[in-house]
């Protein structure tokens, strides 16, 4: 999993980490300031925001002072709330919690929805047990239900809770349902990038709130994909030396050290002109800005 710190991904990460603390929209000038600290220029910010607006995740709004800004849509807030449970949940998965099964059938005339269903279930962390039968730890049920309803795919799917009764041993079955080698590689790549950062901070680094913000946003942007690739399987079903526990510990320590320190930079004085504007309103001309790589 090579890090893909695209402008669009970083904006989503920023809103997830700090944007929901605001009582109103995030002014354009502030968004540009915060992205500049991550080496993202203003044209890339505007282009990325336009894409997020088209996807229905951000909404244009005015701040109380009249500045142009952006706030999260209701769908985006639900997505982030679902994501919080994955990203910050440090509970140890238990085999006794059971599984959730998604069984779907899509008419041939709507085969594009069949592809979308497979893609979405895979993104949620489901493994494929058989054609049209996908399995995941039971704790993913609520998020799965929200996602399928939001995408209007729920008429094609039935969800069940249950336990695995054989015939293969559950650990053998899990190894066929998920590509555990690929997931372990993603964990190791995260560790290769973020363990040195943690060592640096634990070594008594003297740094500014901007440094804490930058390191935290980059760590979170890397980490937040992993709990979707890795659904959080019970340790007894995983290979010996599984790196997932260590990568979760590294992210947890970085979160504890840097999140609140970075908030000092995020919630600092608004930049821009005397009225808080950056000199530009939110124009649909952003659609013509240079494209960015989708996250």
For 71-111, how does the pLDDT look when each residue is reduced to its tens digit (9 = 90+)? 999 989 988 988 888 888 777 788 888 999 999 888 887 88
- Answer yes or no: is pLDDT of 66 > 60: yes
**Residue of higher predicted confidence among 270 and 226:** 226
pLDDT (0 to 100) of residue 187: 96
Token pair belonging to 183: 């997931």
Tokens matching residue 167:
């015939």
pLDDT at residue 294, as a whole number: 31
270 confidence band (pLDDT: 50, 70, 90): very low
Mean pLDDT, residues 127-155:
89
Q: What is the pLDDT of residue 150?
A: 85
Residue 207 — pLDDT band, cuts 50, 70, 90?
Answer: confident
Top pLDDT among 292 and 30 is at: 30
Q: With contact defined as beta carbons under 8 Å apart, do 19 and 70 qualify?
A: no
User: Which pLDDT score is estimated for 10?
Assistant: 96
DSSP 207: -
Q: What is the mean pLDDT of the chain?
A: 85
Q: Does the pLDDT at position 281 exceed 80?
A: no
Judge whether residue 278 has pLDDT over 90. Answer: no
pLDDT exceeds 50 at position 242: yes
Identify the pLDDT of residue 290. 26
Q: What is the mean pLDDT of residues 150-177?
A: 88
> Model confidence at 166, in pLDDT bands (50, 70, 90)?
confident
3-state secondary structure 10-72: HHHHHHHHCHHHCCCCEEHHHHHHHHHCCCCCHHHHHHHHHHHHHCCCEEEEECCCCCEEEEE
pLDDT confidence of residue 113 = 85
**Residue 284: band (very low, low, confident or very high) from pLDDT cuts 50, 70, 90:** very low
Q: Are 67 and 27 in contact (CB under 8 A)?
A: yes
How far is the C-alpha of 56 from the C-alpha of 42, rounded, in Å?
A: 21
* Among 128, 133, 137, CA closest to 96: 137
* Residue 26 buriedness (CB in 10 A; 0-12 / 13-18 / 19+): buried
Give percent of the chain above pLDDT 90: 55
């Amino acid at each position: 999993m090579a890090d893909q710190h695209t402008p669009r991904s970083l904006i989503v990460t920023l809103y997830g980490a700090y944007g929901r603390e605001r009582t109103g929209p995030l002014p354009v000038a502030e968004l540009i300031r915060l992205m500049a600290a991550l080496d993202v220029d203003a044209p890339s910010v505007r282009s990325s925001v336009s894409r997020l607006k088209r996807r229905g995740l951000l909404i244009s709004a005015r701040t109380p002072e009249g500045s142009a800004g952006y706030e999260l849509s209701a769908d985006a807030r639900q997505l982030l709330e679902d994501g919080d449970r994955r990203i910050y949940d440090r509970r140890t998965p238990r085999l006794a919690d059971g599984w959730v099964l998604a069984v779907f059938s899509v008419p041939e005339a709507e085969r594009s929805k069949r592809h979308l269903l497979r893609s979405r279930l895979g993104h949620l962390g489901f493994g494929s047990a058989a054609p049209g039968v996908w399995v995941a730890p039971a704790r993913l049920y609520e998020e799965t239900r929200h996602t399928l309803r939001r995408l209007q795919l729920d008429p094609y799917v039935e969800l069940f809770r249950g336990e695995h009764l054989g015939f293969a041993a559950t650990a053998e079955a899990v190894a066929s349902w998920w590509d555990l080698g690929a997931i372990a590689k993603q964990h190791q790549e995260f560790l290769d990038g973020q363990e040195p950062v943690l060592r640096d901070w634990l070594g008594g680094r003297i740094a500014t709130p901007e440094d804490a913000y930058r390191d935290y946003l980059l760590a979170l942007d890397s980490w937040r994909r992993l709990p979707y690739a890795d659904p959080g399987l019970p340790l007894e079903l995983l290979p010996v030396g599984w790196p997932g526990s260590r990568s979760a510990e590294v992210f947890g320590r970085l979160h504890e050290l840097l999140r609140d320190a970075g908030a000092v930079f995020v919630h600092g004085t608004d930049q821009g002109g005397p009225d808080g504007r950056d000199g530009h309103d939110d124009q649909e001309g952003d659609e013509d800005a240079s494209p960015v790589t989708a996250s």
